Chain A
Amino acid sequence: MSHFTTIKVQIKNGEVLHQVLQELGHKVECNTKVRGYHGDTTQAEYVIRQNNGYDLGFRRSGDNYEIVADFWGAQINQQKFVNSITQKYAHKTLMATVQEQGFNIEEEEVLQDGTVRVVVGRWA
């Protein structure tokens, strides 16, 4: 019986996702198998290898990516894991647009509650 669970995330750009995973310190392999319960596997585009034998995969599903893993076996805090990735991804995507659209970053700070605040400006 498969223990894999999938979670849809608002992530569209695979290259940015790959960078985010690496920057968060994960060891990533591309286009390979996600290992789950009892030798069970499933395919994904980006896979974080875990030493406990339960991997965390990211695979394309329509326009977005979904996370596929046996979260029970992976023994990670699912919500925390997803949040750490989506926040960094959102920040990176915003910064790419900021530069693409000719804005300068005037200020950037992380508030005590974890809020990321960015001030950007662009002259005509």
Chain B
Amino acid sequence: MSHFTSIKTQIKNRDALVTALSDVGFKNIEIHETAQHLYGYQGDVREQTAEVIIRRQYIGSSSNDIGFKQQADGQYEAIISEYDRHRYNQEWMNKLMQRYGYHALKATAKEQGFTIEEDEVMQDGTVKVVVARWA
């Protein structure tokens, strides 16, 4: 049985998280108001729960579910099994956090009355956003 580890993240905005997960390739993402149990690769129910879940069948044949569980302070923790950490490692988290940051920023910009004028990914992978707001 591959153990789950919890990884602290700076993620607070659930919608931005879900969009970021779809940006990095996940098309089937479960969103629950109440945290649901995760399952292991043999279909065994685990004690860990999460509000945002990618089920193992969308990850790999020997994979376990991946979850994001909201903590008391509002931030989400990523719950990923040791087995899946080989593929969904820190580098993957960094990429996810870049996409998350981008969507969270766009959400704030819109909320604060800024319009997004430009929005592009440069050749080196840098995300560039231009926002403007009139007085």
Contacts and interface: CB of A to CB of B under 8 A. Distances in A.
Interface of A: 10, 83-84, 86-87, 89-91, 93-94, 97-98, 100-103, 106, 111, 113-124
Given A87-B133, A103-B101, A113-B134, A120 B113 contact: no
23 contacts: A87-B133, A87-B135, A89-B112, A90-B112, A93-B111, A94-B114, A97-B109, A100-B10, A101-B105, A102-B97, A113-B134, A114-B135, A115-B132, A116-B135, A118-B114, A118-B132, A120-B105, A120-B129, A121-B129, A122-B127, A123-B126, A124-B94, A124-B127
A94 B95 CA distance: 22
A101 to B, nearest CB: 3
Contacts of A97: 104-105, 108-109
A116 B133 contact: yes
Which 5 pairs of residues, A with B, have the shortest CB-CB distance? A101-B101, A90-B112, A114-B135, A97-B108, A117-B132
Contacts of A121: 122, 126-129
A89 B133 CA distance: 12
Q: Is the interface of B mostly helix, strand, loop or mixed?
A: mixed
Interface residues of B, number: 30
Contacts of B100: 101
A10 B133 CA distance: 15
Given A90-B114, A101-B105, A120-B105, A83 B135 contact: yes
Contacts of B33: none
A121 to B, nearest CB: 5
Contacts of A98: 105
Contacts of A120: 105, 128-131
B25 interface: no
A115 B130 CA distance: 13
A122 B98 contact: yes
B44 interface: no
Nearest to A120: B129
Nearest to A107: B130
A87 B112 CA distance: 9
A116 B132 contact: yes
